[in-house]
């Protein structure tokens, strides 16, 4: 065999191997999630994951995205910011995800930003479980939100209180970047509404040590209390506040799951407790994305997963990401996914519209207030 013939055969083999490698890469797209699947916020991380997985499974059953199947790779950070950073780096290194989804917690996402994890990896994060102003302004080129900001949630609560004549308000908040962001928004909103902030009380992150906050806020006798807190702490604070004789109206931001509060402390104690929602009612057959979730949920029957707003949030985030992947075309790169998301204008996710631009990655402004009834169910 002469040299030119050998060189030609080698080049042919290299071309075949490259084509096979390309085909293998196209066969699967990995989406990464680092979230709390243990600890007090386990229900939040678990339901966001389940919502995303339900949608990815439905897409895979129809052939995937441009022929590529979607695989969700997850890590449990226990809601600890240092673990979020470590495990996100590990996941990016080992699984090379095309995107990240559903990371939970303001402090956790802020740690990723501070440590430059997203920029170094060159990968977008969509549907982070935080509405902090730091996620919105200035625009982070790697983070895309599908929920309203905490400031918008707080404005809705203060407006509701002011509408019914409540002028003495208090704030219960988590002592970390999440809680302090909500507190700052509450202080600004209360001042704008020309009502009075009579007390504020904090609790330590990842705990239910609310005793001091209960005493401080109850002593001030507020008419309404804004709660910038997670489910476990919200439940304990509400229970102890009622026992202390605090008969104020309590409304928590969307990171609290109302029905879980009722399960923890009993429907009788939780009756009348309000929760802001940044997703439509998942049981509403009149909203097409909720109806789509209901049908997917019934078909899959996921174990130990409830049909709730958090599940819908994961489902919507996955739906928006998949639309971005479709627009990015076959064999997408992370940059093409980012560009595709930034070009998304008034995307109808099913009665919920999402818009991004290069100068705005806050995709939704939807807010609503729900209240627990005597049976522990949410009503509008």
pLDDT in tens, 356-380: 999 999 999 999 999 999 988 888 7
CA distance 38 to 74: 13
pLDDT for 377: 87
DSSP state of 140: P
Q: Considering the domain boundaries, does residue 359 fall inside one?
A: no
66 and 131, same domain (yes or no): yes
| pLDDT surpasses 50 at 183 | yes
161 and 203, same domain (yes or no): yes
Q: Considering the domain boundaries, does residue 366 fall inside one?
A: no
For residue 308, give both structure tokens: 């709730």
| pLDDT surpasses 70 at 212 | yes
CA distance 258 to 281: 13
14-24 residues labelled b (16+ CB within 10 A) or e (exposed): eeeeeeeeeee
Question: In DSSP terms, which residues pair with 145 in a beta bridge?
Answer: 362
Neighbour count for residue 55 (Cβ, 10 Å): 23
Q: Considering the domain boundaries, does residue 365 fall inside one?
A: no
Q: 287, 351 in Cβ contact below 8 A?
A: yes
| pLDDT surpasses 70 at 5 | no
Q: 322, 286 in Cβ contact below 8 A?
A: no
Q: Considering the domain boundaries, does residue 372 fall inside one?
A: no
Q: Considering the domain boundaries, does residue 137 fall inside one?
A: yes
Q: Give the residue carrying structure tokens 């080698």.
A: 10
CA distance 74 to 220: 44
Tens-digit pLDDT profile for residues 246-265: 999 999 999 999 999 999 99
168 and 270, same domain (yes or no): yes
Rounded mean pLDDT of 191-197? 96
Specify the pTM.
Answer: 0.86
CA distance 43 to 63: 30
In terms of phi and psi (left: phi > 0; alpha: psi -120 to 50; beta: otherwise), the region of 128 is beta
193 and 265, same domain (yes or no): yes
Tens-digit pLDDT profile for residues 265-324: 999 999 999 999 999 999 999 999 999 999 999 999 999 999 999 999 999 999 999 999
Rounded mean pLDDT of 123-137? 91
pLDDT for 246: 96
CA distance 137 to 146: 15
| Structural domain count of the chain | 2
Rounded mean pLDDT of 143-171? 96
234 and 184, same domain (yes or no): yes
CATH number at residue 341: 3.40.50.2300
Tens-digit pLDDT profile for residues 83-119: 999 999 999 999 999 999 999 999 999 999 999 999 9
Q: Considering the domain boundaries, does residue 86 fall inside one?
A: yes
Print the domain residue range for 207: 150-277
218 and 264, same domain (yes or no): yes
């Amino acid at each position: 065999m002469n040299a030119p013939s050998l060189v030609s055969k080698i080049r042919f083999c290299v071309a075949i191997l490259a084509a096979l490698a390309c085909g293998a890469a196209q066969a699967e797209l990995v989406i990464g999630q680092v979230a709390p699947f243990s600890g007090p916020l386990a229900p939040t991380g678990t339901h966001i994951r389940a919502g995303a997985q339900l949608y990815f499974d439905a897409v895979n059953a129809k052939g995937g995205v441009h022929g590529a199947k979607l695989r969700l790779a997850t890590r449990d950070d226990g809601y600890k910011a240092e673990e979020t950073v470590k495990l996100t780096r590990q996941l990016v290194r080992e699984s090379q995800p095309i995107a990240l989804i559903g990371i939970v917690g303001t402090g956790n996402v802020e740690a990723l930003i501070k440590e430059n994890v997203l920029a170094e990896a060159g990968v977008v994060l969509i549907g982070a479980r935080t509405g902090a102003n730091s996620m919105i302004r200035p625009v982070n080129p790697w983070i895309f939100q599908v929920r309203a900001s905490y400031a918008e949630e707080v404005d809705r609560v203060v407006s509701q209180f002011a509408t019914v004549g409540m002028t003495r308000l208090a704030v219960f908040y988590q002592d970390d970047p999440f809680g302090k962001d909500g507190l700052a928004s509450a202080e600004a909103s209360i001042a704008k509404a020309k009502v009075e902030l009579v007390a504020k009380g904090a609790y330590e992150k990842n705990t239910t040590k609310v005793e001091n906050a209960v005493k401080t806020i109850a002593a001030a006798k507020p008419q309404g209390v804004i709660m910038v807190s997670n489910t476990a702490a919200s439940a304990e604070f509400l229970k102890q506040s009622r026992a202390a004789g605090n008969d104020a109206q309590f409304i928590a931001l969307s990171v609290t799951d109302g029905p879980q509060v009722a399960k923890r402390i009993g429907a009788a104690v939780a009756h009348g407790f309000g929760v802001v929602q940044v997703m439509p009612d998942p049981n509403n057959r009149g909203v097409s994305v909720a109806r789509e979730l209901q049908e997917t949920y019934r078909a899959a029957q996921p174990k130990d997963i409830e049909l709730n707003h958090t599940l819908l949030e994961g489902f919507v985030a996955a739906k928006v990401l998949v639309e971005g992947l479709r627009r990015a075309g076959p064999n997408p790169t992370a940059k093409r996914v980012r560009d595709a998301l930034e070009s998304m204008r008034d995307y109808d996710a099913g009665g919920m519209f999402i818009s991004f631009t290069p100068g705005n990655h806050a995709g939704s402004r939807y807010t609503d207030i729900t209240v627990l009834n005597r049976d522990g169910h949410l009503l509008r």
